[in-house]
Amino acid sequence: PITIFWHRRDLRTEDNAGLYRALKSGNPILPIFIFDKEILDDLEDKDDARVTFIYEAIEALKDDYRKHHSDLEVFYSKPEQVFNKLIKEHKVAAVYTNHDYEPYAAVRDKAVKELLAKHDIEFKTFKDQVIFERDEVTKDDGKPYTVFTPYKNKWMQKLKPFYLKAYPTGKYFKNLAAFKASAIPTLKEMGFGKSDAKFPDKGYEKFIDDYAEKRDYPAIKGTSHIGLHLRFGTVSIRACATDANHAREKTWLNELIWREFYMMVLHHFPKTMDHAFKPDYDNIKWINNEAHFKAWCEGKTGYPMVDAGMRELNATGYMHNRVRMVVASFLSKHLLIDWRWGERYFAAKLLDYEMASNVGGWQWAAGSGTDAAPYFRIFNPEAQMKKFDPKLEYIKKWVPEYADFSKYPQPIVEHAFARDRCLKAFKAALT
């Protein structure tokens, strides 16, 4: 019999928890990856850069397995169909994989588990993409935290070297099945074009030490851009957290803990993917002006900090964290457009899109989330620009016409008016 190892958001062989357990289980291991039709067919942008990124990561993974006299079988299909096929072709003892916490993944994995159970095949899953998951860091009464700081303190208390140790998969590569896989389905066969986007590299170490001083200024590259690699598991969270924990100050580690906090929240409160964490906020009467939404998406609001951020996002698939906060606040509070519209736009555009962090970030900005900015605290985009881009370097890069006021659009909404309107709308919904 063989054991299947199913890669999903863990596109690497080194320090991979589930792969390590599979390799030690005794049977030859058949590694697989599925381009999930359910997900891909729903993507509107057929040049989606993330598909190209995954594709290239899969090619590299396949090369890696080949170096170890094995291979990677890659499918373009629905997961249940793939497993039905594999069960017919092989004597399968078990399927191993790593946990995935998003609501869609939970449903998918339940269906796969049930299908395998009918054939007496075990479905074994492992924690890999976080240091602590689900119920590992809870309040003393076992309930999930809904506020970050006490969660972080408990997380730090619980951190022992054991949790950061790399899984030495390399020692067991001899247990990989020797076989030759079929060719990877081409991007074209899956209906996609190859994107020419420039992907960030995996180096994050050099950003850790000066992170606290540099992280807030969008004109400088003071943050790691590692989000995309964490999303698809082309780097190991244990490696990142180990380096972050060794640093002289822990600001960068703090950000990695935010990531886990939001994943834990989404796991326990899956409804918050499209409902306010604080339910009263679903009573807000959004204006949802389509023309304003379009101006926001295109970076033509007449607020340079907002416009620069949106143009950076449209051009590169990335936006600096400080600016994400400004544009999200502007959409939900200045324009009174439902935060879910913005969340979906980010989901379509961000290379590092992570549902838990995106929903968390948007609900923070709109005031409806855990640890939210209170609704009466409304970012002033002009003041944010003066503080975080004092020399207008970021603005000049993305909104060059700002230098010539006659060419730059008037603000689509006046700040004091928008502020007042927001306070009234939020107050009406919340009292």
Annotated binding site for FAD: 211, 252, 255-262
Q: Which residues are catalytic?
A: 255, 258, 286, 321, 339, 362
SS3 assignment, position 46: coil
Q: Judged by CB under 6 A, which of 12, 225, 267, 278 binds ligand FAD? A: 225
Instruction: Figure out which of the listed residues 17, 365, 366, 418 binds ligand FAD, where binding follows CB under 6 A.
Output: 365
The CA angle 130-136-142, to the nearest 5 degrees, is 150
User: Per CB under 6 A, does 9 bind ligand FAD?
Assistant: no
| Member of 223, 236, 332, 370 binding ligand FAD (CB under 6 A) | 223
Which one among 6, 155, 199, 362 touches ligand FAD, defined by CB under 6 A?
Answer: 362
Candidates 58, 226, 310, 335: give the one binding ligand FAD (CB under 6 A). Answer: 226
The reply on whether position 10 binds ligand FAD by CB under 6 A is no
Stretch of 61-69, 264-272, 317-325, 384-392 lying at the interface with ligand FAD (CB under 6 A): 317-325
Indicate the residue among 32 and 350 with the shorter CB distance to ligand FAD: 350
What is the CB-side half-sphere exposure of residue 142 using CA atoms within 13 A? 0
Distance CA 115, CA 111 (A): 6
Nearer to ligand FAD, 312 or 352 (CB): 352
Q: Applying CB under 6 A, does 381 fall inside the site for ligand FAD?
A: no
Alpha carbons 343 and 248: distance in angstroms, whole number: 35
Type of residue numbered 37? K
Write the CA distances from 185 to 142, 188, 243, integer angstroms.
46, 8, 37
Binding to ligand FAD by residue 224, rule CB under 6 A? yes
Is 192 among the residues that bind ligand FAD (CB under 6 A)? no
Site for ligand FAD contains 358 (CB under 6 A): yes
**Stretch of 76-84, 264-272, 351-359, 415-423 contacting ligand FAD, by CB under 6 A:** 351-359
Measure Cα distances from 213 to 123, 241, 251 in Å: 46, 20, 10
> Burial letters for 20-51: b for 16+ Cβ neighbours within 10 Å, e otherwise?
bbbbebebbbbbbbbbbbeebeeeeeeebbbb
Pinpoint the alpha helices (H) of 141-250: 148-158, 161-164, 211-214, 227-232, 237-246
Q: According to CB under 6 A, which one of 9, 12, 250, 259 is a site residue for ligand FAD?
A: 259
Among 321, 402, 421, 430, binds ligand FAD (CB under 6 A): 321
Helix (H) or strand (E) holding 74: strand 73-77
Looking at residue 175, the DSSP 8-state letter turns out to be G
Q: Does 385 bind ligand FAD (CB under 6 A)?
A: no
Length in residues, the chain: 431
Stretch that binds ligand FAD, among 42-50, 146-154, 294-302, 344-352 (CB under 6 A): 344-352
Positions in the binding site for ligand FAD (CB under 6 A): 207, 215, 223-227, 230, 255-256, 258-259, 262, 321, 324-325, 328, 346, 350, 352-354, 357-358, 360-362, 365
